[in-house]
A and B are shown apart, each in its own frame.
Chain A
């Protein structure tokens, strides 16, 4: 193995070569089968949950290696990738059109051209050496009749390049990509000119929409002999769709509502901050009528076994790719042996005492539920920070269902080991390094990340007051969860609160921000009355090291009224004091903290 290579480095999936993607990718389609197949899909998950990697894997260069196949037409589908994170669709000049001049029409044209560029540039690269006469003739006819024809209907009146001069399918696609790119830049130029003028300027270029240009263009493309086939749809992979402005989001929703998924299936990845589900005409798009929804974090936070298995596969693949073969992730990330011995000793005590004072159904239940909290309780106070967050299992839990959190921590641990070992092969990560890194990252997550968010002055940054409230809420809940861990309550591994009523406007905004940036995950549980379900907010276990909490379970939760959470985000100290009384109230009366444990399937 090259000792300089860090197997856990996180790269932007767009930049990873197909071969590497195939080596690193863990098939998650059994977890999310709806992503594949006809139909529009919203793939939701916080930053780092693996959405972009899934989309990258669907791209044709990866699919050709996966199948394996030598030609595009052998694939089950063709997917075009359009990332929206750092692209010109975010131009601030577009705001000058809002409420002034044809913003829907110009934004739609802009989006159509952007996606056409991405689609045909990708095809140009893939098909650059395809000179098969039948394929070339079909591509030339497609360019001359379909592409120029559709563009002419949209008002294109410039001299057109002859497709007959192209010598490969790739060249034909390049002509289309270049034409669309020049039209895309025409819009940019128009928008920039608006900045210097008081009045609105006329726009003289063609204007292309989804239904009159992009959809028929892709529909016909799908029928060409070098493509996967007429019955197989084209996927448009729209990544980071939260970056679209409201008008663009409504336009994309209109595309989703247009029932064209038999030919063009749009797979939209969002970071839980999708602006609206309304179309340009004001209707809503609904699931499952118009699209299917896949929430990565919901699946992985509610099934720790499934998530752990996925992380195990990812770590194995990455170690193998860097030449560390036959290494079990558990061995590569060993726990602190002394600490584990002590925890096991406490567990054994609980097993022995079960017949007399046990609280669970089986001896092992008590051992699992109380051994680690008891150990942490013993360390409480000045030695709290000596608890070691190490071992593959704990690291998986601390990553809280977001794979990037695991990888970023692992990458930093590996770098520290590299610095220490100075080029010597690394067979495992020392527990103290694991613990140091996850504790540092937990502190950064709470301090630095929120601070950055507060200082963000960009137009779509959250309100500073909301960030402050989020900070207070996280601290208040973390503090209360720690108090519960130290108590003698039956379930001390509490990470969640269930709301017994609907959150108010401000609280909802704070929770939404928390979910967007990964401080909370949302789920639902049966309400107290048993008449329906209510919202459950799970604190990110990434924060466990900061609050000295046991990350190995998020089973426990308690009910709160939303007014209590409002108190927590406004006066965290008062909230914690108030909760302390309830936690330690020995009477068990109605005033005491009402706690429950998640049942199977909740």
Chain B
């Protein structure tokens, strides 16, 4: 198998691709077409304009088309459009830069293309969307921008393991890919690329994805609110050399109410439940912790340095729009592996801190605290 010629990625991935083609053109495989950057730009522009913008609408229409969904249960996805793709590319660039991960120029091209394709299957329906990428790729306008079929299939496979399950029901989808494979005489690392994409996607679920207007307006279908509320709460994602730092904000408006959510039990049932946003943040950060451990397994051994996820949840005890002085309490915790492995995600070792309380507050507890703060504020204003 030919050797890989990797380069560090110290800038945004798209700018890096440009630089690579300018300075290291011979590092790309020779194939017909107008250069890799041009090929990527043309593909990205088409997808941005004609496919990404259709994702949320397409998913909703597919649900309606199935005829099994009520307005209440309808899922109006948070942003899966060009902004989400851009955000995922930003996060992948951050990971590459901060963790000193290296890519060959051709791998960079494949990764960028795969990020563009990872959610497009939603256009045809949310369930199993990762398996529908091929259908979008096969549409003539997309296919002609992809060119070679083998390259297209690599991109599809890298993109399609960002979620879902394998044929035998396992969530270990990345292992279905080869560790190394060859394309146009170059070695590429499908598992590494897909693990990068998968974790970048996990981190690309921030405030930019929320439909702020509809959230504030209360015009989202009930079972869609939580997606948007969660995204809106995550206002900062930062990666440094060994940690992901997540910052959330919970206001009295979002912290004192519950949101409707459909869960999945181990026996396949899908009961509806009501959850507080704080509890949802706990659940989602636990999942992110699992994803970090899972994805890092496929990174080069010397780069498995992303040790922890540091979470800060700011509970605004005074509504930001009230004009009163800011009064906040913070819940901070770190998700990292410590001590002897205990298995289930709920037992993942983490350190917690809420003001002076040593215990992890639940959503119910936070609701009480926020309501108390609100009463005190009202009394002060009347007094």
Chain A interfacial positions (CB closer than 8 Å to B): 99-106, 152-157, 199-200, 202-207, 211-212, 258-260, 280-282
Contacts and interface: CB of A to CB of B under 8 A. Distances in A.
Nearest to B146: A155
Contacts of A100: 2, 182, 184-185
Contacts of A153: 132, 134-135, 138
B167 A258 contact: yes
A402 B176 CA distance: 40
A101 B135 contact: no
- Contact residue range for chain B? 20 to 34
Contacts of A102: 150, 153-154, 181-183
Contacts of A156: 138
B179 A282 contact: yes
B181 to A, nearest CB: 7
Given A102-B154, A200-B185, A281-B175, 13 more contacts: A100-B2, A102-B150, A104-B178, A153-B135, A153-B138, A155-B134, A155-B137, A156-B138, A202-B148, A202-B150, A203-B150, A205-B149, A260-B167
Interface in B117-160: 131-132, 134-135, 137-138, 140, 143, 147-154
B182 A204 contact: no
A99 B177 CA distance: 16
A103 B178 CA distance: 12
Contact of A104 (B32, B131, B181): B181
A154 B151 CA distance: 13
A206 to B, nearest CB: 7
Contacts of A282: 179
A99 B184 contact: no
Contact of A202 (B134, B147, B181): B147
Nearest to B144: A157
Contact of A154 (B132, B138, B179, B185): B138
A155 B143 contact: yes
Contact of B182 (A101, A211, A280): A101
A255 to B, nearest CB: 10
B138 A281 contact: no
Contacts of B179: 281-282
A101 B178 contact: no
Nearest to A254: B176
Given A152-B135, A200-B185, A99 B29 contact: no
B168 interface: yes
B30 interface: yes
21 contacts: A100-B182, A102-B183, A152-B138, A153-B132, A153-B138, A154-B134, A199-B184, A200-B29, A200-B31, A202-B31, A202-B148, A202-B150, A203-B148, A203-B150, A204-B147, A204-B148, A207-B152, A207-B153, A259-B168, A281-B176, A282-B179
A157 B131 CA distance: 19
A99 B182 CA distance: 6
B167 A157 contact: no
Contacts of A259: 167-168
B132 to A, nearest CB: 8
Contact of B2 (A99, A152, A206, A260): A99
A157 B143 contact: yes
Identify which of A156, A212, A260 gathers the most chain B CB atoms within 10 Å of its CB. A212
Nearest to B131: A212
